[in-house]
């Protein structure tokens, strides 16, 4: 509230106008990179893969890529809600995906499919509410909160399962789901597309999605518009949890097995997909469809590395680097933006 902010408008001198033009250009370039760059980069990457990587363009390989992309994509789509709300990310998806997979297979074997699904939903709600309250009501840092819930969640899972592998019935409903195809497309792939579209609609067309985006864009303005902001945060983490749950289901369905370690790497892959897709980690910008694109990019990149003989370690390095670079571009775009 310093006096000089109370300005009386007068005509602008020409020098100021030129400075503004230059500033606008710099902003436009980094802004373009952050926003539209992904389309170009993905196209280039796919082209590169098709031309230079042996075996990429074959049907079995592409099917494999899609199969791996589907569960990650669903998880990333759900986690997009958390990132757009400005709460960085949800690390606990690693625990949630594995938990959902194990619950699906183990409980179906023991009791039935429907109880398994209900139980998994309940667990997802617990995660969403615990994370959401810690971050939304206690205003604690989302990275540390979800770090702790990851350890708690994985601890519970490993303790209860002892690390054992669960196998689904060889003619059970899960196996059927995992192997059914409609035309050339696996059912799981269609589920992936459907879920992504659904989540995208939730984010763009519903009250709730609207509030999440507004909250990510400006917390205080959203609060002052009368929105119940703690509930918005809880909702965002719940969406992430439901996405992780569905991702876990799909993951389990592919192999008809579940083990606590099967979700390794889901945290950074999902985050990379979201950020590379153009959703800003600062909140407010982005969409689920962009995350879809980011998933394509990350999956193709991973596949290129696998086909080139680079192991898990290299993949982690590459994706970690990708995350840092993508966020840097975003940060620079913000800096040059006239505020």
Query: Rule CB under 8 A: which of 293-322 touch another protein?
Result: 311-321
With respect to another protein, which residue has the nearer C-beta, 170 or 339? 339
Counting contacts by CB under 8 A, is residue 152 touching another protein? yes
Query: In sequence order, what are the residues at sequence separation of 6 or more whose Cβ sits closer than 8 angstroms to the Cβ of residue 338?
Result: 20, 23, 24, 27
Does the footprint of another protein cover residue 335 (CB under 8 A)? yes
Nearest of 335, 174, 140, 338 to residue 252 by alpha carbon: 174
Please select the residue that binds another protein; options are 81, 88, 237, 249, rule is CB under 8 A.
88
Cβ nearer to another protein, comparing 180 with 328: 328
Can you say whether the dihedral through the CA atoms of 37, 38, 42, 45 is positive or negative?
A: positive
What residues from 116 to 145 belong to the interface with another protein (CB under 8 A)? 134, 137-141, 143-145
Rounded to an integer, what distance in angstroms lies between the CA atom of residue 178 and that of residue 32?
Answer: 40
**Given candidates 45, 46, 147, 165, which one binds another protein under the rule CB under 8 A?**
147
Let me know: does 246 contact 193? Beta carbons within 8 Å: no
**CB-based burial label for 12 (10 Å; 0-12, 13-18, 19+):** exposed
Tokens of 48: 């590169």
Per CB under 8 A, which of residues 239..268 are in contact with another protein? 268
Within 8 A by CB and 6+ apart from 163, the residues are 259, 260, 261
From candidates 158, 165, 173, 187, binder to another protein by CB under 8 A = 158
154 binds another protein (CB under 8 A): yes
Residue 26 near another protein by CB under 8 A: no
Sign of the dihedral through C-alpha 15, 17, 19, 25: negative
22 binds another protein (CB under 8 A): no
Least Cβ distance, residue 129 to another protein (angstroms): 13
If binding is defined by CB under 8 A, does position 103 make contact with another protein? no
Judged by CB under 8 A, the chain residues 49 through 78 that form the site for another protein are none
Return the range that interacts with another protein (CB under 8 A); candidates 6-14, 60-68, 110-118, 244-252.
6-14
């Amino acid at each position: 509230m310093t006096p000089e902010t109370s300005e009386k408008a007068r005509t602008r001198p020409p020098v100021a106008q030129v400075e503004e033009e230059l500033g606008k250009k710099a902003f436009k370039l980094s802004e373009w990179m952050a926003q539209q760059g992904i389309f170009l980069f993905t196209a280039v990457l796919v082209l590169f893969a098709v031309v230079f990587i042996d075996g990429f363009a074959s049907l079995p390989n592409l099917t494999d890529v899609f199969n791996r992309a589907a569960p990650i994509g669903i998880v990333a789509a759900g986690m997009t809600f958390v990132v757009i709300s400005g709460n960085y990310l949800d690390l606990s998806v690693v625990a949630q995906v594995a938990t959902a997979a194990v619950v699906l297979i183990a409980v179906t074997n023991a009791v039935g499919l429907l109880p398994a699904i209900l139980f998994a939903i309940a667990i997802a709600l617990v995660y969403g509410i615990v994370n959401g309250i810690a971050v939304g009501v206690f205003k604690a840092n989302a990275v540390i909160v979800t770090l702790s819930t990851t350890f708690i969640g994985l601890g519970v899972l490993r303790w209860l399962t002892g690390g054992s592998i669960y196998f689904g019935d060889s003619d059970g409903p899960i196996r059927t789901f995992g192997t059914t195809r409609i035309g050339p497309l696996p059912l799981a792939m269609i589920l992936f597309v459907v879920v992504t579209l659904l989540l995208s609609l939730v984010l763009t067309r519903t009250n709730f999605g609207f509030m999440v985006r507004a909250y990510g864009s400006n917390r205080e303005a959203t609060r002052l518009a009368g929105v119940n902001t703690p509930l918005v945060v809880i909702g965002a983490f719940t969406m992430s949890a439901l996405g992780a749950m569905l991702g876990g289901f799909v993951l389990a369905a592919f192999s008809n097995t579940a083990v606590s370690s099967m979700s390794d790497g889901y945290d950074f892959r999902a985050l990379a997909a979201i950020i590379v897709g153009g959703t800003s980690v600062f909140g407010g910008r982005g969409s689920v469809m962009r995350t879809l694109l980011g998933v394509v990019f990350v999956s193709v990149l991973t596949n290129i590395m696998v086909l080139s003989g680079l192991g898990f370690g290299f993949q982690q390095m590459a994706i970690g680097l990708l995350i840092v670079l993508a966020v840097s571009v975003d940060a620079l775009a913000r800096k040059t933006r006239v505020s």
